[in-house]
């Protein structure tokens, strides 16, 4: 078929000249500005999510494509031809005569068709040979039949400068890893980060990698990680910079940790309302009790839910939990205004809370202040709540989150100068659907408030969940950065698609087939959802150099040596 080019009105050109010497993997033939379709050889191994470049020789632009589907194509005009051929081959197999009917001109008659999403194009360099730095959204059609080639490092140089100062891994093209570090700007912690994946896909590993990035950021970012399973403590403790940059508070007595002690007086009814499910009457009972204890009698008194007017918070819970004759207390002190069964529920919970190891009746005991100063110093603060139940974990998380938000908000309002110097801080929470679901969205819950208002004060949320579909839509739309790892459930992918800050509508199949550690990063810093392979935390710390020595004290000697 040497005459093909001439017969179809094409001039034969040297392909190396047009494509910079790269192997041509296909030729573009369709479809529109946003979607490209190209034909590749029948044995061309194309992967979902693979990044490819269409070299437009006419305009000297390079169009970046992402493969979203790969199908079979055939030039045969007869309908059902391929299906019949498969039947013939199968019959040969059954007779033990495989190879009896070889396909003629297979390379020309059958091929693969890759459907792609156009991510944008690299404008021609300023001078011939200079790097291409300008990347634009797709707005024009590449020349038809442009050669499609595999990208090289130079095609991604423009991305390097948008990848921010919290590195998380390498750029990924399908299953191939590209030599380009990817990450997010630390400032985007304040605009909330979501980490979404089915179980075992690498959420915790990614969180550890982010924490490692924060540790190395020289105090620019504070990160409060609430660790329900105790899995982060050993991992983060092994980081070479942990001595400087990590503080650990634990509910249990553990080596190299401070003990987590929160005074009842620091907690508020709002924390209780966030952590536990309360029925309407139970909530009324809570306020009734708070009122009773804040006035010292059953007389009416107004009490604020966020701390009590004497700054006593939930200190009354200790006295209440100590009551043995609940029925008598109800009749005498509460004038029987609360049903006994309701009171019993509150009492049981109060007992449980007051006997927790991390809760102290002593108002002088408090880690809140220390945790705040660690965060102000730009440290990673790990609060190991392993051993606590899920509700108590939320109680601790709610308290700490409120403290952080109040501190940063107060600085923002009262002392902008100080606020400007404060690090961006984020609070990382596992199983975030517990506090961010639609039915949890009320004023007493600090987490929706953080999602809505936090960015103004430089306080962000880093929400980790396996079930993004349970998050409230409106709260999810407040998240500017998504890390989407493998997600098996279609509903989860759909909800992320509608609230992602980058278009991922064509990538459902890719997300479904991601392997552990493979992800898409969608945020506003990059021009498209960036495919990445997250570092393995173990490998990352192995390759992390020790922190720089505190300060060269021998400066005088050194200069003497140099002289």
Ligand X SMILES: Nc1ncnc2c1ncn2[C@@H]1O[C@H](COP(=O)(O)OP(=O)(O)OP(=O)(O)O)[C@@H](O)[C@H]1O
Interface positions with ligand X (CB under 6 A): 197, 199-205, 466, 516-517, 534, 536
Closer of 208 and 480 to ligand X (Cβ): 208
Spatial CA neighbour of 115 closest among 50, 70, 173:
70
DSSP state of 78: S
Residues 374/219, Cβ–Cβ less than 8 Å: no
Q: What is the C-alpha to C-alpha distance for residues 313 and 305, in angstroms, rounded to an integer? A: 8
**Three-state secondary structure call for residue 228:** coil
Residues in touch with Mg ion (CB under 5 A): 203-204
Closer of 459 and 485 to ligand X (Cβ): 485
| Partner whose footprint covers residue 317, from ligand X, Mg ion, none (CB < 5 to 8 Å by kind) | none
| Partner whose footprint covers residue 200, from ligand X, Mg ion, none (CB < 5 to 8 Å by kind) | ligand X
Residues 125/132, Cβ–Cβ less than 8 Å: yes
Q: Extract the tokens encoding 337.
A: 């205004």
Closer of 139 and 229 to Mg ion (Cβ): 229
Closer of 227 and 288 to Mg ion (Cβ): 227
| Partner whose footprint covers residue 205, from ligand X, Mg ion, none (CB < 5 to 8 Å by kind) | ligand X
In whole angstroms, the minimum distance from the beta carbon of 204 to Mg ion comes to 3
Closer of 138 and 486 to ligand X (Cβ): 486
Reported residue count of the chain is 563
In whole angstroms, the minimum distance from the beta carbon of 537 to ligand X comes to 8
Residue holding tokens 């992320």?
496
Strands 518-522, 481-484: pairing is: antiparallel
| Partner whose footprint covers residue 313, from ligand X, Mg ion, none (CB < 5 to 8 Å by kind) | none
In whole angstroms, the minimum distance from the beta carbon of 431 to Mg ion comes to 9
Closer of 202 and 307 to ligand X (Cβ): 202
Strands 176-184, 51-56: pairing is: unpaired
**Three-state secondary structure call for residue 390:** helix
For 11-38, give one letter per residue: b (16+ CB within 10 A) or e: eeeeeeebbeebebbbebeeeeeeebbb
DSSP string, 410-425: HHHHH-HHHHHHSPEE
| Partner whose footprint covers residue 188, from ligand X, Mg ion, none (CB < 5 to 8 Å by kind) | none
Angstrom CA distances, 533 to 10, 43, 66, 201, 239, stand at 41, 26, 16, 12, 20
Q: What is the C-alpha to C-alpha distance for residues 516 and 153, in angstroms, rounded to an integer? A: 24
Q: What is the C-alpha to C-alpha distance for residues 281 and 526, in angstroms, rounded to an integer? A: 50
Residues 471/463, Cβ–Cβ less than 8 Å: yes
Closer of 466 and 502 to ligand X (Cβ): 466
Spatial CA neighbour of 423 closest among 447, 457, 382:
457
Beta bridge partners of 111: 73
| Partner whose footprint covers residue 369, from Mg ion, ligand X, none (CB < 5 to 8 Å by kind) | none
Closer of 231 and 503 to ligand X (Cβ): 231
Closer of 317 and 511 to ligand X (Cβ): 511
| Partner whose footprint covers residue 438, from Mg ion, ligand X, none (CB < 5 to 8 Å by kind) | none
| Partner whose footprint covers residue 112, from ligand X, Mg ion, none (CB < 5 to 8 Å by kind) | none
In whole angstroms, the minimum distance from the beta carbon of 18 to ligand X comes to 37
| Helices assigned H by DSSP within 238-315 | 242-245, 269-275, 280-295
| Partner whose footprint covers residue 268, from ligand X, Mg ion, none (CB < 5 to 8 Å by kind) | none
Please give the residue whose beta carbon sits closest to ligand X in the complex: 517
In whole angstroms, the minimum distance from the beta carbon of 409 to ligand X comes to 31
In whole angstroms, the minimum distance from the beta carbon of 451 to ligand X comes to 22
In whole angstroms, the minimum distance from the beta carbon of 388 to ligand X comes to 17
In whole angstroms, the minimum distance from the beta carbon of 441 to Mg ion comes to 25
In whole angstroms, the minimum distance from the beta carbon of 537 to Mg ion comes to 12
């Amino acid at each position: 078929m040497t005459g093909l080019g001439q017969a179809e009105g094409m001039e034969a050109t040297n392909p190396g000249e047009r494509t910079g010497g790269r192997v041509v993997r296909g030729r573009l033939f369709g479809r529109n500005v946003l979607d490209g379709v190209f034909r590749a050889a029948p044995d061309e191994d194309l992967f979902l999510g693979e990044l490819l470049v269409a070299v437009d020789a006419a305009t000297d632009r390079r169009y970046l494509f992402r493969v979203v589907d790969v199908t079979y194509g055939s030039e045969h005009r007869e309908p059902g031809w391929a299906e019949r051929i498969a039947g013939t081959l199968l019959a040969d197999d059954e007779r033990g005569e495989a190879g009896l009917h070889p396909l003629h001109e297979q390379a020309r008659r059958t091929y693969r068709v890759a459907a792609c999403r156009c991510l944008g194009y690299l404008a021609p360099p300023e001078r011939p040979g200079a790097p291409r730095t300008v990347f634009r959204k797709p707005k024009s059609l590449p020349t038809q039949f442009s050669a499609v080639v595999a990208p090289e490092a130079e095609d991604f140089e423009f991305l390097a400068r948008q990848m921010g100062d919290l590195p998380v891994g390498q750029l990924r093209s399908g299953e191939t890893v590209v030599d380009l570090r990817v990450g997010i700007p630390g400032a985007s912690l304040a605009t909330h980060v979501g980490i979404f994946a089915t179980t075992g896909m690498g959420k915790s590993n990614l969180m550890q990698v982010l924490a490692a990035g924060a540790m190395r950021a020289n105090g620019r970012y504070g990160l409060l990680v609430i660790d329900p399973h105790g899995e982060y403590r050993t991992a983060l403790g092994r980081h070479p910079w942990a001595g400087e940059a990590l503080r650990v508070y634990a509910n249990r007595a553990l080596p190299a940790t401070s003990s987590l002690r929160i005074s009842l007086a620091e907690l508020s009814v709002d924390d209780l309302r966030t952590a536990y499910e309360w029925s309407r009457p139970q909530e009324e009972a809570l306020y009734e009790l708070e009122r009773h204890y804040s006035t010292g009698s059953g007389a009416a008194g107004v009490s604020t839910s966020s701390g009590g007017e004497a700054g006593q918070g939930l200190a009354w819970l200790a006295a209440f939990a100590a009551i043995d004759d609940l029925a008598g207390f109800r009749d005498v002190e509460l004038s029987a205004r609360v049903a006994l069964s309701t009171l019993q529920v509150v009492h049981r919970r109060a007992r449980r809370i007051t006997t927790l190891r991390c809760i102290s009746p002593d108002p002088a005991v408090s880690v809140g202040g220390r945790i705040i100063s660690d965060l102000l110093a730009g440290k990673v603060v790990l609060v190991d709540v392993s051993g606590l139940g899920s509700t108590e974990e939320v109680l601790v998380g709610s308290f700490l989150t409120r403290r952080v938000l109040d501190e940063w908000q107060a600085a923002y309002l009262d002392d902008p100068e100080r606020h400007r110097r404060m690090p961006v801080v984020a609070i990382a929470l596992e199983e975030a659907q517990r506090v961010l679901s639609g039915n949890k969205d009320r004023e007493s819950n600090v987490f929706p408030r953080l999602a809505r208002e936090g960015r103004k004060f430089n306080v962000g949320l880093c929400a980790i969940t396996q079930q993004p579909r349970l998050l409230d839509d409106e709260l999810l739309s407040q998240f500017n950065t998504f890390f989407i790892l493998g997600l098996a459930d279609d509903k989860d992918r759909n909800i992320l698609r509608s609230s992602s800050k980058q278009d991922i509508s064509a990538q459902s199949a890719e997300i479904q087939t991601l392997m552990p550690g493979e992800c898409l990063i969608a945020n506003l810093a990059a021009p498209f959802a960036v495919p990445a392979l997250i570092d393995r935390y173990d490998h990352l710390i192995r390759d992390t150099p020790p922190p720089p020595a505190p300060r060269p004290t021998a400066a005088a000697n050194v200069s003497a040596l140099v002289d």
